[in-house]
Each structure stands twice: as structure tokens, then as C-alpha cells.
């Protein structure tokens, strides 16, 4: 349970009250930094193009356990549809309401209070504790965590373990941990034809008619069978556009936008080549622009996954399911400099919605799980 005078609840409320709509930070990082400085953390800002990024670390040797997250939130949508102001943290019916309550200001507060308790109890702890925080996760994600990762790559620094505070739980705190995410590869396909009068089809070339067999084959293709951790790769059309709006004109082009959510059984290069092979086989005249927004990453069962699931079992009394479902997160960037990355946080049922909230009785246990992770990973086993 979470007590009314809980430090984690108080900090969560402070963070929610800051209107940090992406990519704005609204002073959240300064607030967190003010809690870390007295603990002896070294603070480094790696801001870029108006995005605020904080790298904070404590300790000089041993494995690095990093907590990662974001201070930015998505826009509120119509404020009048909220039962209370989205930036005025409000408690009712056993829940704390406000934009970012679950995604992910409660996790940020829980990081801080877990670290405060751990350092207070173990001021000379082995290993190193770190936080990697950004204000650009919900937006373009081009100048946030990726900027910090690029800086680390340039100076040859790495992280040993990373826990990302994304809201991963489904029905109750601790029922699901993410140990990886599928990759995301999008394509913008333009099939070229010849525009003409619909009554004279022999003088035109209909790109829609030409593309249908190829699209049918793409939709029916089994890209891979998945594996122990990932479901099979999925290819889905998201948008199709063609035509002038007139009913008597054969269009000159057709545009198709699609997306792969791919498993570790495939690579982005292999998927691209397979698509081109199918389009070429059908003799299409086309252009195709690709956008890789995230590579697949995976942390198999081992030191970090075991430490997190043990912490959840101890503090929440349940066995967490290990999953790679869902969309992308900043874990895809951190995995470039860290071999073991997992995501764990509150229930995600209301994230990005009107009246976003977190159960009050989950806030202190969330902090307790993070503190237990610190013990499991950094303290010398007895």
C-alpha cells in the first residue's frame, strides 16, 4: 500500500504538475537533479536541439545499473473531457489522475526514492548507479536518448544493466516485464502508371490494377516463424492513396504505406530485399523509401531478467510474465551500448488516454521493486 505521506507519491505529484508536453521538460530534470545531488551523483546534461537529456551517475567502479526514462508526456487531448485538470494531480477512487501518471512520472519518482533509500542504507555500495533521462521519447526521439547513446559510443562508454521504467504491467503491478521489443521498419511505396481517360484504358496504365497482385503476395508472405521470444514478423498496410477524385480518370500513381514489426529471426536488410524481389517479380515501375525507426533488441533470461523478476516476486508476490509484445521504446537505442535491457513499470491500461491514472496502492510497491533490483544486482551476495 501507499501511505498518504509517501515520498514517492509526493514526487510523482510534483512531476505531474509540470506541463512537460514533448519535447518540453518543464523543469522535471532540474527537480530530479536536486534530489540526486545530495546523494553524491555526478550530473551531466547532454542537451541537443532544445531537447533536455540528463546522465547522472554515482560510484567509480564495478557494474553500472542504469534506470532510464522520459520526462515528456503526450498532449492531453480535449481538456474538457478530463474529469480533472490533466496537470493537477488528483486522487479519487483509489487512483492518482494526471497526464504522465503511468507514462511515466510515477516510474521516475520511484527511481529516485528507491535510489535514496538504497544509498541511505548502503552509502559505500559496490558498483555504480546511473539514470538516463530525456524529454524526447514521446515525440520524434531524434535528440533524446539516441543523443546520449551517440555520445557514449563516441567516448567508448557502456552500461551493464538498464531498467527502463515504461508501463509494462497489464492488470496489476508486476504481471509483465518486457525483455525486448520487435523492430519497426516502414515503407512508402509509390507505384507509377500512366494517367488517362477511363474510357480509353489502352492509352493508360492503371497502377492500382498492377499493384494488387504484388500487394496480395506481400500480405500472404510468411516472413519468418518467430522464435522463443518473438512472434512471427508482421507486415501490414497502413494507408493506400490513389486517384484524382474523379470517377473517369485512371490515376497516374498509387501510394502505399506499410510497416514491418519484425522479430529477431529477421533483419531489416533481409526484409527490404524480399519486398524488392516481390515488386520486381511483378514488373512494377515504382519508388520505395524506407524508414527504420527501431531495431529488434532482446535480453534473454539471465542476470538482469532474473534480478527483476525476483524483485517483483519479493515485493508484489507474483511471477511476472516475460514478453516482447507492444510498440517501440528507448530500449532500442540503449541496447546499442548495453547488453542487458529490460522494461518494467506500472499498468498501461490508461496511457495516452483521457483521464490517465495509476493505482495509488501501486506507487510505493513500484519504488520497492526498483530498490530490490539495486540490491539484487549491486550488493555482494551473502
Q: Which residues form the catalytic set?
A: 72, 137
Is 197 annotated as a binding-site member? Answer: no
Alpha-carbon distance 239 to 230, whole Å? 26
Cis peptide before 104 (omega within 30 of 0): yes
Alpha-carbon distance 56 to 36, whole Å? 8
Residue 97 burial class via C-beta count within 10 angstroms: exposed 0-12, middle 13-18, buried 19 and up? buried
Whether 347 contacts 166, CB under 8 Å = no
Is 217 annotated as a binding-site member? Answer: no
Is 315 annotated as a binding-site member? Answer: no
> How far, CA to CA in Å, does 233 sit from each of 196, 224, 289, 338, 346?
38, 6, 20, 24, 27
The β-bridge relationship of strands 95-97 and 90-92 is antiparallel
Alpha-carbon distance 59 to 40, whole Å? 9
Is 274 annotated as a binding-site member? Answer: no
Residue 82 φ then ψ, to 5°: -80, 145
Is 47 annotated as a binding-site member? Answer: no
Task: Output the known binding site for Zn(2+).
Answer: 70, 103, 138, 166, 352
Task: Output the known binding site.
Answer: 70, 103, 138, 166, 352
Amino acid at each position: 500500500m501507499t501511505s498518504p505521506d509517501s515520498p514517492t507519491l509526493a514526487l510523482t505529484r510534483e512531476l505531474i504538475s509540470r506541463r512537460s508536453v514533448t519535447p518540453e521538460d518543464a523543469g522535471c530534470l532540474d527537480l530530479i537533479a536536486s534530489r540526486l545531488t545530495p546523494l553524491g551523483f555526478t550530473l551531466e546534461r547532454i542537451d541537443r536541439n532544445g531537447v533536455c537529456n540528463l546522465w547522472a551517475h554515482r560510484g567509480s567502479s564495478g557494474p553500472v545499473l542504469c534506470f532510464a526514462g522520459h520526462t515528456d508526456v503526450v498532449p492531453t487531448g480535449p481538456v474538457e473531457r478530463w474529469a480533472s485538470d490533466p496537470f493537477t494531480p488528483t486522487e479519487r477512487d483509489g487512483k492518482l489522475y494526471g497526464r504522465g501518471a503511468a507514462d511515466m512520472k510515477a516510474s521516475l519518482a520511484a527511481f529516485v526514492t528507491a535510489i535514496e533509500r538504497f544509498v541511505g542504507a548502503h552509502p559505500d555500495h559496490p558498483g555504480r548507479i546511473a539514470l538516463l533521462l530525456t524529454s524526447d521519447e514521446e515525440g520524434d526521439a531524434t535528440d533524446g536518448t539516441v543523443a546520449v547513446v551517440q555520445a557514449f559510443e563516441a567516448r567508448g562508454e557502456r552500461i551493464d544493466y538498464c531498467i527502463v521504467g515504461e508501463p509494462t504491467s497489464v492488470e496489476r503491478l508486476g504481471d509483465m516485464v518486457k525483455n525486448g521489443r520487435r523492430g519497426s521498419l516502414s515503407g512508402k511505396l509509390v507505384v507509377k502508371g500512366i494517367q488517362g481517360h477511363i474510357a480509353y484504358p489502352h492509352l493508360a496504365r492503371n497502377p492500382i490494377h498492377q499493384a494488387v497482385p504484388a500487394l496480395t503476395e506481400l500480405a500472404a508472405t510468411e516472413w519468418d516463424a518467430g522464435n522463443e521470444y518473438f512472434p512471427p514478423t508482421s507486415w501490414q498496410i497502413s494507408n493506400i492513396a490513389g486517384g484524382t477524385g474523379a470517377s473517369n480518370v485512371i490515376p497516374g500513381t498509387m501510394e502505399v504505406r506499410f510497416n514491418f514489426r519484425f522479430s529477431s529471426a529477421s533483419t531489416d536488410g533481409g526484409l527490404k530485399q524480399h519486398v524488392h524481389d516481390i515488386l520486381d517479380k511483378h514488373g512494377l515501375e515504382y519508388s520505395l523509401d524506407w524508414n527504420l525507426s527501431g531495431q529488434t533488441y532482446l535480453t534473454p533470461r539471465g542476470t538482469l531478467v532474473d534480478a527483476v523478476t525476483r524483485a517483483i516476486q519479493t515485493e508484489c508476490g507474483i511471477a511476472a510474465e516475460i514478453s516482447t509484445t507492444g510498440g517501440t521504446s528507448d530500449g532500442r537505442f540503449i541496447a546499442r551500448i548495453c547488453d542487458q535491457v529490460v522494461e518494467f513499470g506500472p499498468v498501461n491500461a490508461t496511457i495516452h488516454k483521457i483521464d490517465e491514472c495509476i493505482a495509488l496502492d501501486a506507487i510505493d510497491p513500484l519504488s520497492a521493486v526498483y530498490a530490490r533490483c539495486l540490491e539484487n544486482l549491486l550488493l555482494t551476495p551473502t
